[in-house]
Amino acid sequence: MANIAGVLRDEIARLSRREIRRLTDTTKRATVQQRHLIAAMNRKIAVLERQVALLARAARQQQAATSANDSNEPKIRFVAKGLRSQRNRLGVSAADFGKLVGVSANSVYAWESGTTAPRKEQLAKIAALRTVGKREAATRLKAALSVKYPARRKR
């Protein structure tokens, strides 16, 4: 007769392995299924990221194209030193130059010092003054002063 203790031990080991396999099989299947789902999601994420990158690139190109189409007018450069020399060429003070452009004297000082820059509308007005001489500037200044401050009515 075989050793009963050895046979019993082998049978217990076989049954316990079988029971462990039965209990862990569902967990293994669920793990494999989850890994497949994760891999599929990662593939979808990669595809979506590529699509987002393409759309972002297309949007940037479209925005650049529309901004280029919108600005058919030539770019006007602004240099603070050039503004000061233009004002000196016209022979007007910063306050008078501001009246010609339609801004305050402090704005002109800030532009000349380089702390701020004029807006598009003001840049267009400054550019228009580049072709103006001293006499024309003086007549425009007189016209601006007469329009801005009309004579008061007597009571």
What backbone torsions phi and psi does residue 150 show, to the nearest 5 degrees? -70, 160
Q: Which residue has the tokens 């690139």?
A: 57
Q: Residue 69, Cβ neighbours under 10 Å: how many?
A: 8
The 10s digit of each residue's pLDDT in 71-126 is 566 678 888 888 899 999 999 999 999 998 989 999 999 999 989 999 888 898 89
Q: Is the pLDDT of residue 152 over 80?
A: no
Domain ranges of the chain: 1-72, 80-148
CA nearest 39: which of 29, 50, 31? 31
Does the structure show a pLDDT above 60 at 67? yes
Q: What is the predicted pLDDT for the residue at 32?
A: 96
Q: 93 with 145: CB under 8 angstroms? A: no
Instruction: State yes or no: pLDDT of 1 exceeds 60.
Output: no
The yes-or-no verdict on residue 34 having pLDDT over 80 is yes
Which CATH number is associated with domain 80-148?
A: 1.10.260.40
